[in-house]
Amino acid sequence: EDIVPSSHNCDVPHVTRTDYQLIDISEDGFVSLLTENGNTKDDLRLPTDENLLTQIKDGFAEGKDLVVTVMSSMGEEQICALKDIGPK
């Protein structure tokens, strides 16, 4: 962290948070997500966090309807949360 006087400006990254419905998990570790406008997003990898990874894989294997939260900033995107919205 930087300590700056209150009279100076401080640059901070712009962070967005978006929810997508999980459609598929490929064998190579990528996920297929459904966007709000009905298109698919296929360029995200599964998260590296073991707990979240296990929850996603287990929920998908059980046929649950899952929504993942993706945080994006500075050209990077990562799955950071999971919601179970019921069985398919």
Exposure b/e, 17-42, CB count within 10 A at least 16 = b = eeebebeebeeeeebbbeeeeeeeee
59 CB-contact burial (10 Å; exposed 0-12 / middle 13-18 / buried 19+):
middle
pLDDT by residue (tens digit) across 5-50? 888 888 889 999 999 999 999 999 999 999 999 999 999 999 999 9
Parallel, antiparallel or unpaired: strands 76-87 and 30-34: unpaired
Give the residue from 5, 56, 11, 9 showing the smallest Cα distance to 32: 56
**pTM, entire model:** 0.83
pLDDT of the residue at 37: 94
16-87: CATH superfamily: Nucleic acid-binding proteins (2.40.50.140)
pLDDT by residue (tens digit) across 46-67? 999 999 999 999 999 999 999 9
pLDDT of the residue at 87: 65
